[in-house]
């Protein structure tokens, strides 16, 4: 079945930190009615699911006026075209694809081996942290803008009396059947859209996994003949 509770969280970010574990995330704290909320963003590649990412500057959201009209807080979205729902394969902006696989960069897994020079290992570690560094920079810029807003698209969750939040902030279709295939669906992809009114800019953070196909059927599964 598709991801649960597809939603967009609009809020004022106040802090961020790295959460380590089997899948490292960068956790953003957001203030909004009904909150505070946490936003969990994948920032590192792990075995079998290498991260692809793109930081799209000077971005125009597919439904700009719809976003600006959103109230702050968590808003449930219908997974269908014609609204705020995002789809990496199907969404367009001014007649062009919102995002393509060709725009995405591969985020390498950190190299923990001792082979190679120290300089090579340092460069590899820096490359593996490129997405984390970009998210931190954007977070700090949004905090510095008194009217800055982050719009986080993904799967909303309630944390049993603790802080609620949103995760699955990445492509949620094209997964192989035996690797998160149950999350596949259309018009339910995650992303971060950052609006800085003082600068008049929008920036998008798109994240996908190398294991995901960009050729999907009407159910978000890899189309016949693709992997």
Confidence class for position 80, pLDDT limits 50, 70, 90 = very high
pLDDT tens digits along 90-142:
999 999 999 999 999 998 766 555 555 666 555 555 666 889 999 999 999 99
Residues 182, 18: Cα–Cα separation, whole Å: 27
Residues 5, 158: Cα–Cα separation, whole Å: 10
The predicted pLDDT at position 114 comes to 55
Count CA atoms within 13 Å of residue 28 on its CB side: 32
The predicted pLDDT at position 182 comes to 83
| Whether 145 contacts 67, CB under 8 Å | no
pLDDT tens digits along 154-199:
999 987 767 799 999 999 999 998 888 888 999 999 999 999 999 9
pLDDT tens digits along 18-48:
998 767 789 999 999 999 999 999 887 765 5
The rounded Cα 148 to chain-centroid distance in angstroms is 18
- Whether the predicted pLDDT of 227 surpasses 80: no
């Amino acid at each position: 079945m598709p991801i649960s509770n597809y939603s967009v969280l609009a809020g004022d970010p106040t802090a961020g930190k790295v959460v380590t574990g089997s899948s490292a995330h960068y956790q953003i704290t957001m203030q909004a009615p009904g909150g505070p909320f946490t936003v969990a963003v994948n920032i590192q590649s792990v075995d079998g699911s290498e991260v692809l990412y793109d930081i799209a500057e000077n971005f125009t959201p597919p439904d700009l006026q719809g976003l600006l009209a959103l109230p702050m807080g968590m808003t449930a979205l219908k997974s269908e075209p014609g609204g705020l729902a995002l789809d990496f394969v199907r969404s367009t902006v001014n007649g062009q694809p919102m995002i393509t696989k060709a725009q995405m960069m591969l985020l390498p897994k950190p190299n923990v081996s001792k082979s190679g020079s120290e300089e090579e290992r340092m460069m590899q570690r820096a490359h593996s942290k490129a997405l984390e560094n970009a998210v931190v920079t954007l977070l700090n810029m949004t905090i510095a803008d008194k009217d800055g807003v982050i719009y986080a698209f993904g799967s909303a969750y309630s944390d049993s009396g603790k802080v609620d939040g949103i995760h699955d902030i990445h492509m949620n279709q094209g997964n192989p059947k035996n690797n998160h295939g149950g999350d596949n669906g259309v018009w339910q992809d995650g992303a971060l859209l950052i609006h800085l009114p003082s600068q008049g800019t929008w920036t998008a953070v798109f994240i996908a996994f190398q294991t995901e196909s960009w050729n999907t059927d009407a159910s978000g599964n890899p189309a016949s003949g693709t992997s």
